[in-house]
Chain A
Amino acid sequence: MEALDAIEREVDGAFAPVRDEHELRATHARFLGKEGSLTLIMRRMPELAPAEKKTFGQAVNRVKTAVESASEAAEVRVKQAALARELDREPTDVTMPGRRPRVGRQHPLHRVLYDVTDIFVSMGFDVAEGPESDWETNNFERLGFPADHPALDMQDTFFLHNEGRPGPRALLRTHTSTVQIRELLSHPPPVMIVAPGTVFRCDDDATHSPMFAQIEGLVVDEGISLAHLRGTLATFAQRLFGKDVTTRMRGSYFPFTEPSVELDASCSLCGGRDPHCRLCKGSGWLEVAGAGMVDPVVLSNCGIDPEKYTGFAFGLGIDRLAMIRYQVPSIELLYSNDERFLRSL
């Protein structure tokens, strides 16, 4: 019994200096391990007289409980200390750069092209496309361009070497309007498409690039009027520039539409209130699209009855929209592929 008392007196002192899990386990084992002092005493129990056993057992239990509770208290202390040590380590300098994967940049022309296409697709248009090289038949004749007429000068054309082949001249398409012909020849109306794509003009100066991007729209069905054209482009302008923009439709000329119009949107930047506005140059209007009712001759050329069907068509310059959105100072930058330009957007 004296031995038990001695052990009991030892307990608190033994656990007090414990600092970590390892010491904790070792101290616990000093009392209750295979060779622990309490274990050894308990092993002597069978030697005792039955009368003594009960009192001794109670005493052993009392000491054992003391060991366990001292151990648990020490464990809580050790874990808190460990947690504190981890949290109190030298803080990471979070002003160091993050480890990150490189992020690529989509070309601004394609960002705008896809945004514009998505707006029209959400309005029920499907996407059509044609080749970038074409013939004068699809680029001019079937679109109703008069032969030998100054209207042809509106679009300076790159012709391709024909290697002496007979037939219509091959060229790089000057507008995505070629897709009007290809679409109208591919199936009977109704037709409701947009045709984004690359076009070419023999023109290279501060405001023109010999290659640029357009998106063409074409709707042909029974009962289509200029009001549908205006409604479509007004919705488009509001989705692209903001819901407060208004539109204006004015007369124009394209050989393949009659009547031909230009559709302008009110300036989304100044609302027409700034005479020095960088966007509208003080006019209050931004040109959105050249458009019009599909000329009956275009429908006839594609085997469609212009008495039964009417339609509208429009064309938008993607480059100009990209220049407006990203404040690109000159068109040549769009094709410079200068990494400093590409990564600035």
Chain B
Amino acid sequence: MNISYQWLSALLGADAGVEAVARLLTNAGLEIEKVREVGANLESVLVAVVESTRPHPTSKNPLTLVTVNLGKDGSLEIVCGAKNVPAPGGRVLFAPVGTTVFTGDPKSPSFTLVEKPVAGIVSKGMLCSEIELDLGSDDSGIIVLDGAESVAAGTRLVDYLPGAHDWILEVNVTPNRPDALGHLGVARDVAALLGIAFGGVKPKAIAARAAKDDERVRVESKTDACDRFDAAVLVGATVRRSPLWLRSRLHRLGLRAINNVVDASNYVMLELGQPNHTYDLDVIAERTVVARNAMEGEVLQTLDEKTRALTAGDVVIADASKPIGLAGVMGGEGSGITDKTTRLLLEAAHFDPSAVRRMAKRHDIHSDASHRFERGVDPACPPLAIARLKELLVELTGATVVDADVSARGPKELAPALEVSVRDARVAAVLGIDVPRAECTRIVASLGFVMGAEDADRFVVRVPSFRPDVTREIDVIEEIGRVFGLDRVPLAVVPSSGARAGAVRDFSQRRRVRDALVALGLDEAVNYAFDADALFESVGLRASARIANPLSGDRAAMRPTLVAGLLKNASLAVRHGETKVRLFEVGTVFAGRRAEDLLANEREATAANEGPLHEETRVAFVLVGPRDSYLGDAGSVDVLDGKGVVEALVEALTRGAVQADRGGEAPPWAHRAAFARLSVAERAIGYVSELHPSMRAPFRLPSSTVVGELSLSALLAAAPALRAVRPSKLPSMRRDVALLVARAHPVATVASLLRQGAGERCASVSLFDRYVGKELPEGTHSVAFSMEFSPVGDKTLTDAEVDGWVKSAVARVVQDLHAVQR
């Protein structure tokens, strides 16, 4: 909502300073997002009187040389390109050299006037259009002041047009404050904050002549959506351009000036917050206006030139034959004001907020009227709006008011004014500060609340009709707080209750895994929880949960995996020339719940701290490119690098041992010759694999792309209880064993047999070398293990016994796997 500071000050009869007012309003909940100074350039602009004109002697363009009288500054001859230069005696606006003038072009919006020849003739200034002075949007010619015959030549514009130098306050009006959608409501807040009296808007009473029969109208509300409908009739109006003060005020507040009737209507809306409408009485069938529900099949062409098919849920304003407006949303074509209109029907009504909101949504219209009615316009305002409109229109159009006012009520009773009881103790308990009773009552009274009964510990107030947001004691306390000054609330420390959270999930587990993966050298990604189906299909997966109203049609799938997003990220990095990628993400994946899933019930699921979708936290990573090495080439990553990440992660988190096999149902992105199902303590935690070759191309990723995806809960579930080891004071002993064995036997099997064969003193068997070469028998490799033996108690191991254990270990592998010791 744009608020003119000059208008506000005029309503208040006080000028407290722009900055002070902006600060007060911001602190009280009407946040001023921006203050825009306008019209500072007008200080030097003068009213000039045309003395004579002559055509430009040489120019081929239709230029006029205008001699104007500037009062004490004498006369000047000015070159002017406009076609509407008035006859001698006409009043125009002169901007001298040095004035800032506007272009209407956003690329170079303004410039400073300098003395410069136009078609060979130098002017000491220019005669200006609305656009050039930023007083309007008309660039068809220069401004010619109407009815300004008595204004002396050389009068400063800011004296002729009080408030021409203004400040526009851009107010962020929250949805609970419909009263602040007009200058009146904002002025009321300012008065309360400044502690000054405020009388509101009081239109002059206009004498009406008796109405003739054909000047009487019939008005009716047949719908609950219209509480009241007030109307009045004016005759003898002349429709024309509004005076400069009105045109410029609307322009600065963001509305386009149209004609004096429509402009007056908009002005009243901006002043009082009451949307209203003016009709040409002569096109209203049977001079009858009814608010009613639309009938199925009716159509209405609205002012935005769109044809609207109406449904039974719509509420229309109709004459005796057809709808002429969408109630509280937008008027219809055909009943509006034209140049020929002389008889005016004024409407100010109150419509139900929900009904207007539904219509505005259904027809996708957001108008100044619907914006206000949706939020709740003061139901008591229509008579005031009618009175104000009459006052303005009589002045602007020369019309006469006839005695034909009508005020209809809807079928639904108007709600009586609410009375709210406020306890002093509650005010203090909520605000944390004692506000004296007298201060409380002063504040609410200044906001328009009517004081009721009072006793020792409470007082009663009647809520004004323009504050639909206030219905309870707590709402009145908020009013007291924001006007008293929330900044006066002291600081207090919460006494810690030591209460534990009840709604818990896996916050600390996610954090531990993130910390561990970062320590392992991976960078963390955060991808959107939704993306295009195509992305997930490119790793062979389909989303089972979808967004009904996605931002764009192709981003509707809730992610069933983290892998696809990471591959997209890796792809981006590779495209940017990165050769090595190490990324991980810890996040939620989603699946639709099966119909028979009891947790799909909202209440039950909420109690279990679950949602409508099945959510699971996953841990995923992608590795691309060369291994970490120093100056040399250590080869590219493969599935064992991925397995190593998981082993290190598990070691860091739980010290569990990771087993790998090729079991279960591998994910579609797995490479069948290079994937592993990983388990800890016999429980599968996820898969790691080189990326399936057919999925590399869409991401433009190299063959050295390894991905892994694990379940966070499975990963952390298998944490064994840890027990400290008492280290032996005696040395352990190592023996190396090299074996030639068929590659068909997994290395883990060989190691396990060695360990079994070596007996209980064998603490570990670890592979430290592997060789594959042509000189070895077909299908074999040479594997070398380091075996560690630990003493027990205080008995030192002897070479002889260790040699004996190694011998039996080797014998076991030779016997079971036909291995050959090397």
Chain B residue with Cβ nearest A193: B501
Q: Is the CB of B490 within 8 A of A230?
A: yes
Bound state CA distance, A200 and B572, in angstroms? 24
Chain A residue with Cβ nearest B528: A211
Chain A residues 194 to 208 lying within 8 A of chain B, measured CB to CB, are 195-196, 198, 200, 202, 204
Chain A interface residue number, banded: 35 or more
Q: Of A159, A227, A230, A262, which is in contact with the most chain B CB atoms at under 10 Å from its CB?
A: A227
Contacts of A81 in B (CB 8 A): none
Q: Is the CB of B430 within 8 A of A183?
A: no
Contacts of A185 in B (CB 8 A): 606-607
Q: Is the CB of A343 within 8 A of B354?
A: no
Chain A residues 64 to 90 lying within 8 A of chain B, measured CB to CB, are none
Q: Of B511, B581, B607, which is in contact with the most chain A CB atoms at under 10 Å from its CB?
A: B511
Contacts of A334 in B (CB 8 A): 526
Interface string of A143-167 (1 = CB under 8 A from B): 0000111110110001111110101
Given contacts A124-B496, A227-B489, contact A132 B481 (CB under 8 A): no
Contacts of B493 in A (CB 8 A): 228, 231-232, 235
Contacts of B590 in A (CB 8 A): 132-133
Q: Is the CB of A337 within 8 A of B569?
A: yes
Q: Which of A37-45, A134-142, A269-277 contacts B (4 or more CB under 8 A)?
A: A134-142
Bound state CA distance, A280 and B433, in angstroms? 30
With both chains docked as a complex, state the minimum distance between the C-beta of B478 and any C-beta of chain A, in angstroms: 4
Contacts of A179 in B (CB 8 A): 503
Contacts of A154 in B (CB 8 A): 175
Contacts of A167 in B (CB 8 A): 601-602
Select B497's contact among A130, A190, A200, A310, beta carbons within 8 Å. Answer: A190
Chain B residues 182 to 201 lying within 8 A of chain A, measured CB to CB, are none
Is A12 in contact with chain B by the CB < 8 A criterion? no
Q: Of B27, B375, B494, which is in contact with the most chain A CB atoms at under 10 Å from its CB?
A: B494
Chain B residues 551 to 577 lying within 8 A of chain A, measured CB to CB, are 551, 558, 565, 568-569, 572-573, 576
Is A19 in contact with chain B by the CB < 8 A criterion? no
Q: Which of A3-11, A22-30, A46-54, A248-256 contacts B (4 or more CB under 8 A)?
A: A248-256
Bound state CA distance, A101 and B429, in angstroms? 58
Is A103 in contact with chain B by the CB < 8 A criterion? yes
Is A16 in contact with chain B by the CB < 8 A criterion? no
Interface string of B523-564 (1 = CB under 8 A from A): 111111110000000000000011111110000001000000
Bound state CA distance, A296 and B429, in angstroms? 13
Is B403 in contact with chain A by the CB < 8 A criterion? no
With both chains docked as a complex, state the minimum distance between the C-beta of B85 and any C-beta of chain A, in angstroms: 44
Q: Is the CB of A202 within 8 A of B175?
A: no
Interface string of B725-756 (1 = CB under 8 A from A): 00000000000000000000000000000000
Is B26 in contact with chain A by the CB < 8 A criterion? yes
Is A303 in contact with chain B by the CB < 8 A criterion? no
Q: Is the CB of B174 within 8 A of A252?
A: yes
Contacts of B523 in A (CB 8 A): 104-105, 339, 342-343
Given contacts A170-B613, A260-B478, A295-B474, contact A187 B547 (CB under 8 A): no
Is B508 in contact with chain A by the CB < 8 A criterion? yes
Q: Is the CB of B494 within 8 A of A249?
A: no
Contacts of A240 in B (CB 8 A): none
Select A128's contact among B497, B501, B576, beta carbons within 8 Å. Answer: B501
Bound state CA distance, A110 and B510, in angstroms? 10
Chain B residue with Cβ nearest A173: B611
How many of B's residues come within 8 Å of A, CB to CB?
104
Q: Of A161, A162, A260, which is in contact with the most chain B CB atoms at under 10 Å from its CB?
A: A161
Q: Is the CB of B478 within 8 A of A133?
A: no
Q: Is the CB of B524 within 8 A of A110?
A: yes
Is A239 in contact with chain B by the CB < 8 A criterion? no
Is B812 in contact with chain A by the CB < 8 A criterion? no
Q: Is the CB of B491 within 8 A of A227?
A: yes
Q: Of A99, A163, A168, A248, which is in contact with the most chain B CB atoms at under 10 Å from its CB?
A: A163
Is A324 in contact with chain B by the CB < 8 A criterion? no
Chain A residue with Cβ nearest B433: A227
Given contacts A133-B612, A221-B497, A227-B489, contact A211 B529 (CB under 8 A): yes
Select A130's contact among B358, B547, B550, B609, beta carbons within 8 Å. Answer: B609
Q: Is the CB of B491 within 8 A of A134?
A: no
Q: Is the CB of A129 within 8 A of B606?
A: no
Chain B residues 458 to 506 lying within 8 A of chain A, measured CB to CB, are 472, 474-475, 477-478, 481-482, 486-487, 489-506
Q: Is the CB of B494 within 8 A of A338?
A: no
Chain B residues 421 to 435 lying within 8 A of chain A, measured CB to CB, are 428-433
Is B159 in contact with chain A by the CB < 8 A criterion? no
Contacts of A172 in B (CB 8 A): 529-530, 547
Bound state CA distance, A196 and B31, in angstroms? 27
Contacts of B490 in A (CB 8 A): 227, 230-231
**Told that A137-B602, A226-B481 touch, could you supply 5 new A-B pairs with CB distance under 8 A?**
A127-B504, A128-B502, A129-B506, A259-B474, A293-B430
| A-B residue pairs in contact (CB < 8 Å), sample of 25 | A106-B518, A106-B524, A107-B525, A123-B494, A124-B497, A129-B503, A133-B558, A137-B606, A149-B357, A151-B175, A167-B601, A185-B606, A193-B503, A202-B549, A211-B528, A211-B529, A219-B494, A224-B494, A225-B492, A226-B486, A228-B493, A250-B27, A253-B176, A296-B474, A343-B523
The 5 lowest CB-CB distance pairs between A and B, nearest first, are: A251-B29, A227-B432, A186-B502, A131-B611, A225-B432
